A and B are shown apart, each in its own frame.
Chain A
Amino acid sequence: MSLPEFRLLRPRSIEDAVRCLSEHLGKDGLSLRMLAGGTDLIPSMRQKLFEPEYVLDLRGIVAMRGIRPQGDGGVEIGALTTLRAIERSDFLRQHYAVLTEAAATVASPVLRNMGTIGGNICLDTRCLWYNQSLTWRKGCGFCIKKDGDLCHVAPGGTKCWAVFSGDTPPALLCLDAEIEIASANGVRRVPLNDFYTGLGDNYRKLQPNELVTRIFLPASTAGYRGVYRKLRVRGSIDYPLAGVAVAMKSYDGHVADARIAVTAVNPAPLLVKGAGELLMGKPLDEALAEAVGDLAAKTAKPLTTSALTPEYRREMIRVFAKRAVLAAAAN
C-alpha cells in the first residue's frame, strides 16, 4: 500500500507550527495531519484513513521535547518526548510511577523509540471495522467514523464507538495531568480529564488549528504509588484490549487518596467515578479491592471493536482493577 501524496511541512518552533496550522487548515480542517512519532499516522495513511494535503512534521521542534522537573515538585513533559524516554526517566519512575509503568507497556521497544507521549494522548480511536485498508472497508460498507453512515459495532445506532487505545492517558488521568494546547490565538491549559469527548469519531476537544505542546503533572500527586495493568494477547506489540491505572497515597495503612482510570474499553480513557471515595480512609483488603473492581467494571462499556469478547474485556477490567489496587497498596 502506497502512502498518499502530501506536502511535508517541517516547522522548527512552536510558533512556526501554529502558523503552519492556521495557514494550511483548509476549509474543513481535514487537509493537514500532524506527525509526532508517526507510528499510528503512517499505517493509517497507507490504509487511506487519512489523505491530507499536508503533513506537519513536528519532530524538529526541540522545545517540545524533554522532561523538566519544576520548582514546586511537579513536572513538565514536552509532548514530543518519546515513550522510551518516559519509560527510562528515573525522576518519573520515582515520583510518577504509574506513568512510567504505562509507558513501558506501549507496543514494542522499536515503536516506543518513535512514539511520543503527545501522540499517545492524541491517539486516534481504534476499531476492527475502521483500522483496515480502503479495499477492506469497501467490503464492509464503511462506517460512521470514516466514509460511511452506520456503525457495525452497535447496529442501528448513530454514535461511533471506536475505542480509545492509549496506555499512558489513564495513568495521566490518575495523576491529575493537565495539557497545554497552543494555537495562533495563544495557549490554553486544560485538565486532561476535559480533553476527551467520549465519542468514537470526534474523540478529543482539539480544534484543527490547535496543537498539544506540553503535559503538566502536579506536585500534589507526586509520590503516589502507581500500577498499570494491561490486557493483551501478546506480551509485546499489542494495543491494550483493556487497561487499568491506579495511583494511590496511603497513610498509616489507610488509603489517603486514590484514583483509578480505565482505557481501551470506551471511546475515551475514563476515571472511575466514586473509586476514590470508596477507598478513602479505609485499609485496603481483598473485599474492598473487589468492590473497586466492580465499580471499574461498571465504567467499562466494551463493544466488539477489538479482539476478544466484550464480556471478557469487561471482566478483566474488574479483575485488573482489583489486582491493581492490591498491588498499589502492597508497593
Chain B
Amino acid sequence: MSGEFSIIGKPTAMIDAAAKTTGAGKYTDDLRVPGMLIGKILHSPYPHARIRRIETSRAEKCEGVIAVVVGKDAPNPYGILPVGHDEYALALDKVRYVGDNVACVIAVSEAIAEKALELIDVDYEVLPAYFDPEESMKATKDLIHDSKPGNLEKDYHHVFGDPDKGFSEADHIAEARFIANEVTHAAMEPHSTLASFEIDPHTGKAGRLTVWSSTQVPYYLQHKLSLVLEMPMSQIRVIKPLVGGGFGGKSEVIPLEIIAAVAARKAQAAVKITYTREEVFWAHRGRPRTIIDLKTGIKQDGRITAVKARVVQDGGAYCSYGVVTILYSGALLGALYDIPNIQYDGYRVLTNKPACGAMRGHGTVNVRFAFESQLDELAAKIGMDPAEIRQHNLLKPPCITVNGLRVQSYGLPECIEKTVERSGWKQRKGKLLKGRGLGIACSHYVSGAANSIIRSDMPHSTVNIKIDRDGGVVVYTGASEIGQGSDTMTAQVAAEVLGCSLPRVRVIAADTDLTPIDIGSYSSRVTFMAGNATLRAATEVKKLIAAAAAKQMGCAVEDLIFRNDQVFKQNAAAASGAGLANESIRSKRDEASVSGRVEGQILRGSLQQKRKEEGPKDSLTFEEAVVAAIDFHGTLTGTGSYAPPQEARGGKHKGAGVGPSPAYSYSAQVAEVSVDEETGEVVVHKVWAAHDCGRALNPVSVEGQIIGSVWMGMGQALTEEMVWKDGMLMNPGLLEYRSPSSVESPEIEPIIVESIDPEGPFGAKECSEGSLAATIPAIANAIYDAVGVRLHESPFTPERVLAALRAKRNAKSLGLTEGVDPTAPARFREHGGSLCFKGKGPERHALDPSRNSAPAVPGRAD
C-alpha cells in the first residue's frame, strides 16, 4: 500500500505520550531548584474595596518567612491586550473581586507561608460592588476602573448589509433572549510557575531571569515580565515544561506568573507558586455569562434574510481578552452560513468578579447556542427539516462574507450530509420513543487569527531546523505543546517533508532562549501557522540535501524522492519495482545494510567515504544524504515562517481585526438525548460529530479533539455553571463545579471531513475548538425534539428542564428556578442565601490576630 504520504494521515501516538503516561514527564510543579522557596498569595475577601493600608511586618517576622511582596514592589500595569493594561502583579490601591491578589508571602514551606498570610493586616474601605452587567452599565460612581465610564470595557456596533431591509423581506422573524451562564476551563493541571534569577557574575546582583511556567503563550509571558520587571526581554528566559491542558486558561499572563518573578526578585531566591484549585477558579479567564438578544428573519423557503444580535458579556473585573471576546461574538455570526444582512451590538461589561477571558471556542460558543436554537425554532415555524434549513443557507466559497471574512475551503455541506446519514436522521427523526429526541446544529472556528493581538507584522510562527551528521533532525519551534499534540504535529510535518522516519525527529519547543518566536497556542492557530512554518523550514533544508544528493547520484534535483529514510532516483525506484511501497523499501535498506551499520558511526566516516568513492548510486540513505549535504554546504539548517496573507486579514471597520482567519473549520453534529419528564434529567445517548479539519495530519489526534470538544460542550450544556452570590463563587472546586464524569459521557462518533485547504499545511485546518459550539445547541434542539420545550438558558440543569416542562403542561409553579423562566430568561439568577453581614467577616475568625491578645506565632511553637 503506498499512499500520497508516508507519515501524515496515519494515526500516530503522541511523541510525548510515554513520559506523560508513566509519570516520568515533568510539569512545572514537579520542578525544583536548590534553595527554592514557596510563594502563597493573599486574596481579597471583598468584591470591591479600596486598600487603605497593608501591614506586613508581623508576617515578615515569622520564622521561615523570607519576604512579603505587595503591589508597590512592582507597580507597572500589564494585560494581555495592548488596549487592556489594567492589571497589576498585586493590587496597588484597590481590589476588584473576591480572590483579587493583595500580597504574597515567600517562605520555606507552604504551611509557613499559609500561616503568615493570616498575619498580614489589610485595612479595606469597602465599596459598592457590581455583579449584574446590566446593572453595572448604569453605574455613575464607584467605578471598577476609573478610566471606564459606565463600567463598560468596550462596545461595538456593526452593521453589514441592510438589516432593516432584510427583516422587512422576511416571512418569519424570531426574537428572543438567551442566557448562557459562566463556565471555566477546569484544566487538569492547576497553574504553576517557578521563577529564578541568576546572579550576574560582574555585578553580584540579580541578573538573568528564568521562568518555568504552565503557559500556552511563553513569548507573551516574556514580554509582560519585561514590562512589569523593567528588564529587557533578552534577559528573560521562559521555558514551558509539560502542560496539563490549557483550553484558553493559560493563554494569557496569569497573575501568579508575574507574582512569582517579582517574589523571586525580592526574596533573592527561586520561588515557586502553584495555585490551589480555588485559585485557578479565581484566576479564571473562562467563558463569560452572556446575554444574547437575538433576532433572525427567514423567507418561507428557509433562506436567512437578516440577523440582529445584542450581546452583553459579564466580563469580570479586568479586561483580559475581553475586547477580542466581544468582537468574536459578532464576527463569527458570519462565515458559517450565508447571511446577507447582519447587525451586531456587543457590550463587554466590567463586574466585580474574576476576569473572563479566552476559552475553547473563544467568543463564539454562547452566540452559536442562541443562533442554532433560533434557527431550529424558525425551521419548525415553516415546517422545514432542521438539517435542511441549514443546507439552504450554505456559503458558496471561495467568497468573502458580508462582514469581510474570506472563506476558501468549506466542508460544512459534507459535515451535515455525513452526520445526517450516520445518525439515521431521516429515518429516525420524529419517530423515537416518547421522551427521546434528535437535534442538529453546526459551528465553525478560526484556524488562527489572521491579525495577531500584538498588532505587529512579524511572522506569527517561525521554525528552525538543524540536521547534523548523526542524521538526527532537530526542529526548534516556539509553539506550545499543551496536550493538544503540537509537538507531534511538528515532527510529523518535518518527517513527511524530509522523507525520514518519525523517531529521527526531535522537537525542541517553547523555550525563549532556544526556539524562534511563536505567538502561542491559542485561537487554534498552531497546526495551520506553526505547521506551515515547519513545512517551509523543512522544505528549505530538503533543498540543500537534494542539491548535494543529486550531485552525488548524478541526477537532477527534480528526479529525487525523499521517503522512508531514503533518497532515491524516481525512475530507479520504478525500475526496481520498489515503487513507493514502504515495506519493500525497508527491506531493501536492510539488505544494503550500510545504513544499519553506519548509523551512529558517521562521525568516523570511513564507511561513508568508501561508499562515496564507489561512484554514483541509485539511492542514498538519509544519513548519507545528510552527510553529503553537510560536506557540501558546511552546515545544514533551514528556517521557515508564516504570516497570514493580506487577503485573509479582513475588512476596514472598527474591530475588523478580530474574526478574520486564513481558514475556518466546520462542524455539524447530531445529538440523541432522552429526557425524564418527571425529574427533568437529560441523558445524552450519542453524538455524531463531523468536523472539517482540512486534512487530518494525525487522525487519532483529530478524533480525540472532536471527542474532547463534544464532551466539554456537553458539560456546558448540562452540568457546568459557575454559581455566584454577590461576588462569592459558590463552587470553586471540582466537586461542586460539575464537569461530566465518565458515567455521563455519551458515545461520540467522530467523523473526519477533509476539505483540503489551499493554504493549510498539506491542506490542514484547526480541529480543537470548532466542534464545541455545535454541541450545546444540538443538545438543546434534541431536548426540544424529545419533549417540546425550548430552553433559552444554559446549562440545561434538571431544575430548569423540569420548570419548562411543568410550565408547558400548565402544572402549578413550584418556583423551581426562583422566578427565572428558563424558556424566556430575563436576568441572571444568583445562588440563594444571604451575605447581609457585608464586611463584618474577617474579624470574626479564631485565627484573626485581633481577637487574641497573644496570637500564636507560626513556626515557633515547640
Are B799's CB and A308's CB within 8 A?
Answer: yes
14 contacts between A and B (CB under 8 A): A1-B114, A134-B845, A138-B45, A152-B835, A153-B832, A153-B834, A234-B719, A234-B740, A235-B743, A304-B833, A307-B736, A307-B738, A311-B799, A312-B814
- Residue A148 lies at the interface, judged by CB distance under 8 Å to chain B: yes
Are B802's CB and A312's CB within 8 A?
Answer: yes
Known: A48-B847, A237-B735, A309-B815. 8 other contacts (CB 8 A): A128-B731, A136-B732, A141-B844, A149-B844, A152-B835, A234-B743, A309-B799, A310-B832
Who on chain B is nearest to A238 by CB? Answer: B738
With A147-B844, A307-B723: A135-B278 Cβ-Cβ less than 8 Å: yes
With A128-B731, A133-B278: A304-B723 Cβ-Cβ less than 8 Å: no
With A136-B728, A140-B728, A152-B835: A309-B278 Cβ-Cβ less than 8 Å: no
1/0 contact string of A222-240 vs chain B (CB within 8 Å)? 0000000001011111110
Bound-state Cα–Cα, A137 to B847, Å:
12
Bound-state Cα–Cα, A96 to B45, Å:
48
Are B731's CB and A148's CB within 8 A?
Answer: no
1/0 contact string of B798-842 vs chain A (CB within 8 Å)? 110010000000000011111000000000000111111101111
Q: Find residues 705-737 in chain B having any chain A CB closer than 8 Å to their own CB.
A: 719, 723, 728, 730-732, 735-736
Bound-state Cα–Cα, A234 to B722, Å:
16
- Residue A158 lies at the interface, judged by CB distance under 8 Å to chain B: no
With A152-B833, A319-B679: A139-B845 Cβ-Cβ less than 8 Å: no
Q: Find residues 469-510 in chain B having any chain A CB closer than 8 Å to their own CB.
A: none
Bound-state Cα–Cα, A263 to B744, Å:
23
In the complex, chain B residues whose CB is within 8 Å of the CB of A303: 832
The listed residue with most A CB atoms (<10 A of its CB), out of B111, B731, B798, is: B798
1/0 contact string of B735-751 vs chain A (CB within 8 Å)? 11010111110000000
Min distance, Cβ A15 to any Cβ of chain B, angstroms: 31
In the complex, chain B residues whose CB is within 8 Å of the CB of A236: 741-743
Bound-state Cα–Cα, A4 to B110, Å:
11
- Residue A142 lies at the interface, judged by CB distance under 8 Å to chain B: yes
Min distance, Cβ B737 to any Cβ of chain A, angstroms: 10
Min distance, Cβ A4 to any Cβ of chain B, angstroms: 8
In the complex, chain B residues whose CB is within 8 Å of the CB of A155: 833-834, 836
- Residue B130 lies at the interface, judged by CB distance under 8 Å to chain A: no
Bound-state Cα–Cα, A140 to B838, Å:
8
Are A5's CB and B111's CB within 8 A?
Answer: yes
Min distance, Cβ B747 to any Cβ of chain A, angstroms: 15
Are B831's CB and A304's CB within 8 A?
Answer: yes
- Residue A316 lies at the interface, judged by CB distance under 8 Å to chain B: yes
Q: Find residues 109-167 in chain A having any chain B CB closer than 8 Å to their own CB.
A: 128-129, 132-142, 147-150, 152-153, 155
Who on chain B is nearest to A313 by CB? Answer: B799
In the complex, chain B residues whose CB is within 8 Å of the CB of A207: none
1/0 contact string of B276-291 vs chain A (CB within 8 Å)? 1010000000000000
Bound-state Cα–Cα, A120 to B90, Å:
43
A: residues with CB less than 8 A from B are 1-5, 48, 108, 128-129, 132-142, 147-150, 152-153, 155, 231, 233-239, 303-304, 307-312, 315-316, 319, 323
- Residue B389 lies at the interface, judged by CB distance under 8 Å to chain A: no
Q: Which of A238, A239, A308, A316 contacts B797 (CB 8 A)?
A: A308
Are B45's CB and A135's CB within 8 A?
Answer: yes
In the complex, chain A residues whose CB is within 8 Å of the CB of B46: 139
With A133-B276, A309-B816, A312-B816: A141-B840 Cβ-Cβ less than 8 Å: yes
In the complex, chain B residues whose CB is within 8 Å of the CB of A312: 680, 798-799, 802, 814, 816
Bound-state Cα–Cα, A232 to B832, Å:
19
Would you list the 9 A-B pairs with minimal beta carbon distance, nearest first?
A: A141-B841, A235-B743, A304-B832, A155-B834, A312-B799, A139-B45, A2-B111, A236-B741, A141-B837
- Residue B62 lies at the interface, judged by CB distance under 8 Å to chain A: no
In the complex, chain B residues whose CB is within 8 Å of the CB of A150: 837
Who on chain B is nearest to A154 by CB? Answer: B834
Min distance, Cβ B352 to any Cβ of chain A, angstroms: 12
In the complex, chain B residues whose CB is within 8 Å of the CB of A233: 719, 738, 797-798
- Residue B846 lies at the interface, judged by CB distance under 8 Å to chain A: yes
Bound-state Cα–Cα, A93 to B717, Å:
37
- Residue B43 lies at the interface, judged by CB distance under 8 Å to chain A: yes
With A128-B736, A307-B723, A312-B798: A139-B816 Cβ-Cβ less than 8 Å: no
Are A234's CB and B744's CB within 8 A?
Answer: yes
Q: Which of A3, A139, A319 contacts B728 (CB 8 A)?
A: A139
Q: Which of A3, A132, A138 contacts B841 (CB 8 A)?
A: A138
- Residue B59 lies at the interface, judged by CB distance under 8 Å to chain A: no
Who on chain A is nearest to B815 by CB? Answer: A311
In the complex, chain A residues whose CB is within 8 Å of the CB of B837: 141, 150
Bound-state Cα–Cα, A5 to B109, Å:
12
In the complex, chain A residues whose CB is within 8 Å of the CB of B744: 234-235
With A148-B844, A233-B738, A308-B798: A129-B833 Cβ-Cβ less than 8 Å: yes
Who on chain B is nearest to A304 by CB? Answer: B832
1/0 contact string of B113-149 vs chain A (CB within 8 Å)? 0100000000000000000000000000000000000
Bound-state Cα–Cα, A138 to B834, Å:
14
- Residue B678 lies at the interface, judged by CB distance under 8 Å to chain A: yes
Min distance, Cβ B833 to any Cβ of chain A, angstroms: 4
With A138-B845, A142-B845, A233-B719: A319-B736 Cβ-Cβ less than 8 Å: no
Are A309's CB and B817's CB within 8 A?
Answer: yes
Q: Find residues 336-351 in chain B having any chain A CB closer than 8 Å to their own CB.
A: none
In the complex, chain A residues whose CB is within 8 Å of the CB of B814: 311-312, 315
Bound-state Cα–Cα, A311 to B815, Å:
6
Min distance, Cβ A262 to any Cβ of chain B, angstroms: 16
In the complex, chain B residues whose CB is within 8 Å of the CB of A238: 735, 738
Who on chain B is nearest to A129 by CB? Answer: B833
